[in-house]
Structures are given as C-alpha cells and as structure tokens.
Amino acid sequence: MNPLDLSVEELDDILKLANDIEAHPQEYAHKCDGLKLATLFYEPSTRTRLSFEAAMLNLGGKVLGFSSADSSSASKGESISDTIRVVSSYADICAIRHPKEGAPLVASTKSGIPIINAGDGGHQHPTQTLTDLLTIHSLKGRLDNLTIGLCGDLKFGRTVHSLIHAMIRYPNVRFILISPEELRIPSYMREDVLDRNHIDYREEVRLEDAMPKLDILYMTRVQKERFFNEEDYVRMKDFYILDKKKMELAPKDMLVLHPLPRVNEISVEVDDDPRAVYFQQARYGVYVRMALILTLLKWKDM
C-alpha cells in the first residue's frame, strides 16, 4: 500500500471512517474477531508497530510478528519473499517495515494477503502520511489551500516524501522545504514529483524566514541510521531546534506536526503550546490504521 495506490476518494473514505471510529469505537470493537495481523518489523519502531497492534486489538483481532530482523529468520539469510509466502498462511493482513527501499513492494508480489508498507528505508512511509492527513484534516478542517513547511532531514526522511506525494493531489497546496544544503529533498522528488506536477514550492535554509507564512510546520528528526558516517550526523543533528522564541514568529493558528520520535529538533518547552499537536497526531495513528485495516480487509463484505 502506497499513498498513490489510493485515489483521493479512497483516501477521503479512510479519513472519514477513522473519524467515525474515533467517535464510536464500540461499534468497531468486533469487526475483526477471528482475524490476525502480522507485523514484520526489520527496523526499530515504537509508534508504528504498537499503533498497528493496538488498531488490530481494538478491532477484536489478534496480532503476531517480530520487532527486529535479529529475532527473525532474516538473520539466517531468509529472503523477504520466502518469509511472506509463509506468513500469508499464518495471518490475514501484514504490515512490513524494512531498511531496504521497495522491500514491502517485493513482498506484496509473493503474498496471498494484503501487505502494508510500514516504512521502507529512506523511501516512503504511507501510513504515517495517513496519520498526518487525518491530523491536518481533523484539526485544520481542510487538506487544500495550505502552506506546509517541511523542516529537517528532507533527504532521508521518508515521512516527508510520502506526505508530499499525498498532498500534491489537493488543490492549492504550497511547500516550503526547509533544510541544510546536505539534507535537501532528493532530486527524484524535486524533478519527478514537484516540478512535473507544477507544484508551488521553494527551498530555504532558515526556519525563521519561513515561519510567518506557514499553516503547518512539519518537523523531522535527522535520520541518524541512514548516515554513512557519524561525523556528518553530529554536524547536522542540531541544525534546527524549534523553541518558544521561534514559535513567536508563527501564525496563531499554525500547527506543529512531527512523526516522532523527536530528538532535539523540538524543545520540550514547545510541548505546552496549543499549536504543538504531535502527541495528538500519534493518537490519530491508531484510528487511521484501524480504518486502513478494515478497508483492506473489505470490511463492508465481512
């Protein structure tokens, strides 16, 4: 499942379903009785794996899986294709996180059950994007007519790549891409996605310059695990620190999102600002994953 596998109408249906689940959780508590979700996580995760598992448990289903490559037969050299052929007969739906770009896609070609990409290397993270869309839609009331500042590691930050892919499909969305020179958005995103679709965007280095114009500020962590050497990471890691002083430059109704985990890029003093919604965002992740699981299992026929 990639954001572009879903039409805007299908995306909107998932968001509506997620809002309904939030409002009436009891009505969904047994929709997945007797069904199983497998979570195959070859890379660390807190929110994504646990929110998938919470989502399936909230729907009455069960979960099985592993949370690191070391505890799976990948450590013995098994390919993801073989693993998924086997898991297809143990579970009804599967979420995969993998350090290699494209691994969940490869798995989906060998799978007898729906496969959800729960993050593949520095490439995409579509279910985080569903979470982000639900957060923006629920708290801002719209997904169009927005100026979105994406700040931090735009090179390796897969959440940013998926969010851009999804948001360019809504009218009048502009991006300000805020990053150090070394962590600019990859050229395939700039040329094949932004330029090709005639999207209004510009690149900036200083967060302060962008702040006053933003409806949404999407902060990201510098992706330590994707750096080739520690020195470069150390040089980059504290490039942006959002603090109270910088928040004074922002509009009163700007929202601050972050996929989490946060390291230093948002000072804890910002957490009490009503515009800081990243913990709410993490909560929305459960509802939207419940909606996605139901949709992929074609719950209307269940």
User: Of the two residues 137 and 221, which places its CB atom closer to ligand NCD in the complex?
Assistant: 221
**Residue 97 is among the residues annotated as catalytic for this protein:** yes
161 vs 124: CA distance, rounded Å: 6
CB of 26 to ligand NCD, least distance (A): 27
CB of 302 to ligand NCD, least distance (A): 28
- What does the radius of gyration of the chain's CA atoms come to, in whole angstroms? 19
**Residue 169 is among the residues annotated as catalytic for this protein:** no
Q: What is the DSSP letter of 6?
A: S
Angle among Cα 136, 287, 280 to the nearest 5 degrees reads 50
Q: Which of 31, 36, 39, 48 is catalytic?
A: 48
Distance of CA 18 to the CA centre of its chain: 16
**Residue 202 is among the residues annotated as catalytic for this protein:** no
Quick one: which of 155, 158, 165, 190 contacts ligand NCD (CB under 6 A)?
158
- Confirm or reject binding of residue 281 to ligand NCD (CB under 6 A): no
Angle among Cα 131, 16, 218 to the nearest 5 degrees reads 25
- Confirm or reject binding of residue 289 to ligand NCD (CB under 6 A): no
> Which residues between 221 and 280 bind ligand NCD (CB under 6 A)?
221, 259-261
User: Of the two residues 111 and 124, which places its CB atom closer to ligand NCD in the complex?
Assistant: 124
Q: Three-class SS string for 189-243?
A: HHHHHHHCCCCCEEEECCHHHHHHHCCEEEECCCCHHHCCCHHHHHHHCCCCCEC
Site string for ligand NCD, 55-94 (x = CB under 6 A): ----------------------------------------
Q: Can you tell me which residue has the tokens 């009048």? A: 172
User: Of the two residues 35 and 167, which places its CB atom closer to ligand NCD in the complex?
Assistant: 167
Two structure tokens written together for 241:
């620190």
User: Of the two residues 143 and 282, which places its CB atom closer to ligand NCD in the complex?
Assistant: 282
Two structure tokens written together for 3:
């954001």
- Confirm or reject binding of residue 48 to ligand NCD (CB under 6 A): yes
Q: Which of 31, 97, 158, 258 is catalytic?
A: 97
Quick one: which of 2, 58, 128, 135 contacts ligand NCD (CB under 6 A)?
128
**Residue 137 is among the residues annotated as catalytic for this protein:** no
123 vs 27: CA distance, rounded Å: 36
- Confirm or reject binding of residue 119 to ligand NCD (CB under 6 A): yes
CB of 156 to ligand NCD, least distance (A): 9
Q: Which of 31, 36, 47, 155 is catalytic?
A: 47
SS3 category, 128: helix
> Which residues between 4 and 43 bind ligand NCD (CB under 6 A)?
none
**Residue 125 is among the residues annotated as catalytic for this protein:** yes
- One-character DSSP codes across 256-279: EE--S--SSSB-GGGTTSTTB-HH
- Confirm or reject binding of residue 95 to ligand NCD (CB under 6 A): no
User: Of the two residues 28 and 52, which places its CB atom closer to ligand NCD in the complex?
Assistant: 52
Judge whether 243 and 265 are in contact, CB under 8 Å: no
63 DSSP β-pair partners: 37
Residues assigned a catalytic role: 47-48, 76, 97, 125
**Binding stretches for ligand NCD (CB under 6 A):** 47-48, 119, 125, 128, 158-159, 221, 259-261
